[in-house]
Amino acid sequence: MARRPKGPDARTGVGHLIDLFNQTVPPIHPRGIPFVAAPAAVAVLGRSKPWILRPAMALAGASALFFRHPSRVPPTGAGLVVAPADGTIAIVDEMIPHPELGLGDQPLPRICTFLSVFDVHVQRVPIAGRVLSVVHKPGEFLSADLPEASTANERTSMTIATPEGPQVGVVQIAGLIARRIVNDAEVGHDLVLGDTYGLIRFGSRVDVFLPAGTVPKVSVGQRAIGAETVFADLS
């Protein structure tokens, strides 16, 4: 499973310059390399024709921006739930979790993060623990910021059991132009807080279901930073 990019070390000289470059220009998620390489190759082959070169370079640059994979530093502390993605907090409420999560049939606290096409689209592990289930459900491709997208849209649901016992559900939801959900986690995997576990291509949403009684620490309209913004404290 993909890990978060390493931060800069104490190297000097050329190594230090490389570290500074990586801090300023985030690397590309491996799943995005084909989307950058293909138009870049077209640009090279058609470099003598501006009507080919310019659109191809623009597409390669836009793809590199979309699939960027910046380094993040999660907070320390047992029981912390962090944002699974960059984006805007669209919903903070209680909802009956999706059946495939196995979290019961009573409403649970839910936090929904909406990702625009300009946000980082990799997903981060919201809480350290072991994967109990990963279930993909086909569906529609409504705009991800609509309430009905939670149940109507294509989604991949994952349940994580923490070492202390509580379980957290995280759901990747496809959006209006998203057509591919990637989840690299597998049942039985031990996940590290803040590590990258998947991505959604081109506009999407990620919902987190918290244990009953949990008080969310974010509000609607707030900007979330994946792996760093604290959603809740289960301790």
CB 174 within 8 A of CB 204: yes
Secondary structure (DSSP) of 144-207: TTSTTHHHHB-EEEEEEE-TTS-EEEEEEEE-SS---EEE---TTPEEPTT-EEEEESSSEEEE
Three-class SS state of 131: strand
CB 75 within 8 A of CB 95: no
Task: Enumerate helices (H) and strands (E) in the chain, giving the number of each.
Answer: 4, 13
Q: Rounded to 5 degrees, what angle do the CA atoms 27, 193, 172 make?
A: 75
CB 153 within 8 A of CB 174: yes
Q: Which of 150, 204, 219, 235 is catalytic?
A: 204
Selection from 183, 177, 175, 179 nearest residue 199 by Cα:
183
> Does 157 qualify as catalytic in the annotation?
no
Q: For 212, how many CA atoms within 13 A lie in the half-sphere containing its CB?
A: 7
Number of Cβ within a 10 Å radius of residue 119: 20
- The residues annotated as belonging to the active site are 204
